[in-house]
Structure 1
Amino acid sequence: MSTPETISANAVPGIARGHRLQFEPAQACHVLLYPEGMITLNDSAAEILQRCDGQRSVQAICDDLSAAFDGADVTTDVHEFLALAASHGWIVFDRV
């Protein structure tokens, strides 16, 4: 599936095949592992990617994060990160 230029609120992101999100105790942070290496994630990126389960829509991810962070408006940040993650092949979208 291709990366959408504009991510729809109905799009359903999931971690791309060959990638695995996990907490790395030695580094005390989440990382994204893939065959060529590893990406160390900041807390915000980890919070978003943990919700990219192939079941929740982008809107549901935004709503969940907003609720988890006292109603903060996270929509722009989530969309920007998902676009970046998709451009690097870290996530794929089920629906657009």
Structure 2
Amino acid sequence: MQAADIPTLPRGVRLHHDKVRDTWVLLAPERAITLDAVGHAILNEVDGTRSFGEITGALAERYSAPVDEIRKDSSGFLDALRSRRFLDVSQ
């Protein structure tokens, strides 16, 4: 994922808090992914308007972590979601 890429959740895909299991999940038609705290933090920043660079910068600032580390981890996570069609990316 490049810094200028703008990740967005496609139509029908949404974050949802599963109250029974007390965990966050990413829901899509006939599919779901249980999210850990890191995955939820990343996807919580995906709003369809901010670039990947802006998202990773905000995460690095919020968690006082090196931006390169955040970029590497976030890129791998979002690329995996993209390959499974849970995420769209525009430029």
Q: Same fold (TM over 0.5)?
A: yes
1:14 paired residue number: 8
Once residues 52 and 74 of structure 1 are traced to their aligned partners in structure 2, the CA distance between those partners, rounded to angstroms, is 14
Bigger helix fraction: 2
Residues 16-61 of structure 1 show CA distances to partners (whole Å, capped at 9, x for unaligned) of 2211112222211110111113211111111111111101100011
1:3 paired residue number: none
1:67 paired residue among 61, 67, 71: 61
Root mean square deviation of aligned Cα: 1.1
Instruction: Count residues with an aligned counterpart.
Output: 89
Q: Displacement of 1:94 after TM fit?
A: 2.0
Residue 81 in 1 paired to residue 77 in 2? yes
Which consecutive unaligned segments of at least 5 residues does structure 1 have?
1-6
Q: Displacement of 1:69 after TM fit?
A: 0.6
Normalising by structure 1, we get a TM-score of 0.85
Q: Aligned residues: percent identity?
A: 29
Other structure's SS at 1:17 match: coil
Q: Displacement of 1:68 after TM fit?
A: 1.1
Summarize the alignment of residues 1-96 of structure 1 with structure 2, pairs less than 5 Å apart. Answer: 7-72=1-66, 73-95=69-91
Normalising by structure 2, we get a TM-score of 0.89
| Bigger RCO of structures 1 and 2 (CA < 8 A, at least 6 apart) | 1
Once residues 25 and 67 of structure 1 are traced to their aligned partners in structure 2, the CA distance between those partners, rounded to angstroms, is 29
Which consecutive unaligned segments of at least 5 residues does structure 2 have?
none
Once residues 12 and 65 of structure 1 are traced to their aligned partners in structure 2, the CA distance between those partners, rounded to angstroms, is 15
